[in-house]
Amino acid sequence: MKRSLIISLIVLVNNNITRTTADDGEGELNASCNSDKDCRYFGYLCKQNTCQCDQWYIPDKDNKICVGGVDQKCLYDEHCIDGAYCMNQVICKCKRDKSHILDQGFVCAGNSTAHQITVLLLLATTISGIFTII
Ligand SMILES: *[C@@H]1O[C@H](CO)[C@@H](O)[C@H](O)[C@H]1NC(C)=O
Ligand SMILES: *[C@@H]1O[C@H](CO)[C@@H](O)[C@H](O)[C@H]1NC(C)=O
C-alpha cells in the first residue's frame, strides 16, 4: 500500500518536471534539430534539421505550433485542432459530441450553427403560426 503511494507520488513529480521542460517553446515548428529528440516529444519530426509537423499534425493558424487532429496525442487543448480539446490531457477529441470528423481528422465539423438554424426555423414557424391565427 505505502510503496504504491510513494511510487505514484514519484510518477506525479516526474510528470510535472517533464511537463515544464516540454512547455518552454523549444523544439516547436521550424526549430533547428539534429534528431527527433530535439523536437517536442509528440507532434513533431526532425526533417532537414528543422522540427516539422508529424503525420496527423498540422501547423496551427499562426504557423507556430503543430496541432493534432482527432485521436492524436496531446497535453493541452492548444495542442489540438480548432474545435477539438485534449481529453484527459491525452487525446484530441472534437468538443461537441455530435461533431462530424472530416478531412482525415483535421476538422471537427458540425458546430452550433446547425443547432442555431434549427432554433431559428422553429421560432420562425411559431411566429408565422401566431400571425396566421391573428
Ligand atoms: C515555419 O516555416 C514556415 C515555412 O517557411 C513559415 O510559413 C512559418 O511561419 C514558420 N513558423 C515559425 C514559427 O517560424
Ligand atoms: C460552423 O461551420 C460552418 C461550416 O460547417 C462554418 O461556415 C461556420 O463559420 C462555423 N461557425 C462557427 C461559429 O464556427
Q: Whose alpha carbon is nearest atom 14 of ligand 2?
A: 111
* Mean pLDDT (10-residue bins), the chain, 134 residues: 50 43 67 94 94 95 93 95 95 85 83 55 70 70
Buried b (16+ CB within 10 A) or exposed e, 104-129: ebbbbebeeeeeeeeeeeeeeeeeee
Judge contact between 71 and 92, C-beta under 8 A: yes
Pick the atom of ligand 2 nearest to 83's CA: 14
Ligand nearest to the CA of 99: 2
Ligand 1 atom, smallest distance to 28 CA:
13
> What is the residue extent of each domain of the chain?
26-126
User: How confident is the model over 10-21, as pLDDT tens digits?
Assistant: 444 444 444 444
